Amino acid sequence: MSMKEKLDFSEVPYQYSMCLNRQCPKADICLRQLAEQSIPEKVEHWTIISPKRLTTTKGDCPYYRSNIKASYAKGFIGILESLPHKQMENVIIHLMSFFSRRTYYRVRKGERLLSPAEQQQVLNVLKYCGVLQPPKFDEYIEAYDW
């Protein structure tokens, strides 16, 4: 995204906390600033990070969100199907205890995307269960890490 390119406001999550600190050195590359700059005039109310709170922030801003898209994984049925049955059962048990049963089924099918950190957790479980060369996730999608 170039500095002058605007976000599509329809992509901004509901009640996303935006930032008004134009003096911030990362203003041009922070999703919170870019979201605020993309608000259409018809929007009457929005959520912002308190400017008073920001004045007390020292060092790296804890609210900063990079405008560089991350690679999210969508589904891992292919990984499971590539495993021997016993190993697959073991992996499923560990992933269910990590995610919860309901979330496990949603991430397995790709209804819910996996962040880069969650992908690493899945790979850690696979490694723990003896899968040395895990195949790729079913699909990858580039998206903002709001």
The full 3-state SS of 63-122, as one line of letters, equals: CCCECCCEEEECCCHHHHHCCCHHHHHHHHHHHHHHHCHHHHHHHHHCCCCECHHHHHHH
Mark the ranges of the chain whose per-residue pLDDT is less than 50. Answer: 1-3
pLDDT of residue 1: 47
CA dist 58 to 18, 51, 54, 55, Å? 19, 13, 9, 8
pLDDT of residue 141: 95
CA dist 25 to 1, 21, 52, 60, 61, Å? 17, 9, 18, 10, 10
Verify that 59 and 74 share a domain, yes or no: no
Verify that 32 and 50 share a domain, yes or no: yes
**CA 46 to chain CA mean position, Å:** 22
**Neighbour count for residue 71 (Cβ, 10 Å):** 14
Verify that 78 and 139 share a domain, yes or no: yes
Domain ends where: 22, 49, 68? 68
pLDDT of residue 134: 76
pLDDT of residue 2: 44
Split into its structural domains, the chain has a count of 2
Verify that 50 and 84 share a domain, yes or no: no
Domain limits at 27?
A: 1-68
Cα dihedral 27, 30, 33, 35 in deg (nearest 10): 150
**Phi and psi at residue 133, to the nearest 5°:** -120, 80
DSSP 8-state code for residue 125? H
Each residue of 60-78: pLDDT tens digit?
A: 899 999 999 999 999 999 9
**Neighbour count for residue 144 (Cβ, 10 Å):** 19
Q: What pTM value is reported for the model?
A: 0.73
Verify that 38 and 85 share a domain, yes or no: no
pLDDT of residue 5: 57
DSSP 8-state code for residue 40? -
- Report d(CA 96, CA 3) in Å as an integer: 42
